[in-house]
């Protein structure tokens, strides 16, 4: 079986419009569900972060109310405990794309802080898209697409159909009026064709080798699409 690269945020906060820092990181389900799917199919998962920092889980994503109850929360926590690569990430700067059969970006508000402006991640995304290998991005992680700028100054994902966390969902989550910018709006401004589904319902969009999901509920079906492409 092959190796799948998880590119994860190194941020532990998200700076809001008023300058305050909202504690965050990666969203538990968005890392756990694909990790479970990929390793269950026999693939190896390698984690990379900017600078090789150990990624921080958003504590809110471990709560029972966002995991269908205490049993679901316990199951997600158990998966993360078994995810050894989280404690030993490699440096994003040292990634060799040729070593991996697929690339996956889990979300959480963390990518809005660092990956959205990370040039190394941006170059990796441009190269991964051009390589034809499966490239999967979920929820707030499409913020990283904003840094994927080609030499001519245009966004590499302009014209691609993409699912991402929507303005409606950010509003319902209580952050739309606090954020410095909104993901769906920024993607549209970059020329990305955002295909918004119903808030909080699974929505996975596949456009060529790009596989994107709208929200945490989209994580497992997104992983299934990646596995189809790797079969």
Cα separation of 24 and 173, whole Å?
Answer: 14
Decide if 115 contacts 125 (C-beta within 8 A): no
| Matching residue, tokens 């092959």 | 2
**Span 192-215, pLDDT tens digits:** 999 999 999 999 999 999 999 999
- Which residues are CB-contacts of 223 (< 8 A; sequence separation ≥ 6)? 33, 34, 37, 38, 104, 136
* The pLDDT of residue 29: 98
Check pLDDT > 90 for residue 5.
yes
**Span 96-105, pLDDT tens digits:** 999 999 999 9
pLDDT band at 84 (very low <50, low <70, confident <90, very high): confident
The torsion angle over the Cα atoms of residues 129, 133, 137 and 143, rounded to 10 degrees, is: -20
* The pLDDT of residue 129: 98
Please tell me the pTM assigned to this model.
0.98
**Span 103-126, pLDDT tens digits:** 999 999 999 999 999 999 999 999
- pLDDT, mean of residues 63-73: 97
* The pLDDT of residue 182: 98
- Which residues are CB-contacts of 2 (< 8 A; sequence separation ≥ 6)? 43, 44, 100, 101, 102, 230
What does pLDDT average to over the chain? Answer: 97
Helix, strand, coil percentages (3-state) for the chain, rounded to 5, are 45, 20, 40
* The pLDDT of residue 1: 77
């Amino acid at each position: 079986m092959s190796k799948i690269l998880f590119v994860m945020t190194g941020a532990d906060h998200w700076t809001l419009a008023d300058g305050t820092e909202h504690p965050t990181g990666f969203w538990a389900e968005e890392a756990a569900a694909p990790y479970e799917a990929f390793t269950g199919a026999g693939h190896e998962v390698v984690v990379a972060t900017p600078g090789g920092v150990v990624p921080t889980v958003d504590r809110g994503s471990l709560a029972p109310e966002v995991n269908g109850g205490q049993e679901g929360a316990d199951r997600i926590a158990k998966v993360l405990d078994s995810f050894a690569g989280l404690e030993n990430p490699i440096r994003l700067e040292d990634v060799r794309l040729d070593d991996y059969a697929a690339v996956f970006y889990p979300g959480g508000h963390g990518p809005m802080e660092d990956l959205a402006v990370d040039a190394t991640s941006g170059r990796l995304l441009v190269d991964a898209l051009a390589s034809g290998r499966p490239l999967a991005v979920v929820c707030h992680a499409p913020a990283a697409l904003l840094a994927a700028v080609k030499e001519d100054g245009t966004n590499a994902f302009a014209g691609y159909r993409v699912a991402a966390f929507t303005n409606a969902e950010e509003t319902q989550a209580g952050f739309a009026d606090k954020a410095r910018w909104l993901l769906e709006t920024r993607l549209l401004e970059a020329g990305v064709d955002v295909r918004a589904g119903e808030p909080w319902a699974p929505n996975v969009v596949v456009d060529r080798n790009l596989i994107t999901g709208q929200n945490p509920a989209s994580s497992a079906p997104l992983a299934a699409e990646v596995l189809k492409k790797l079969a």
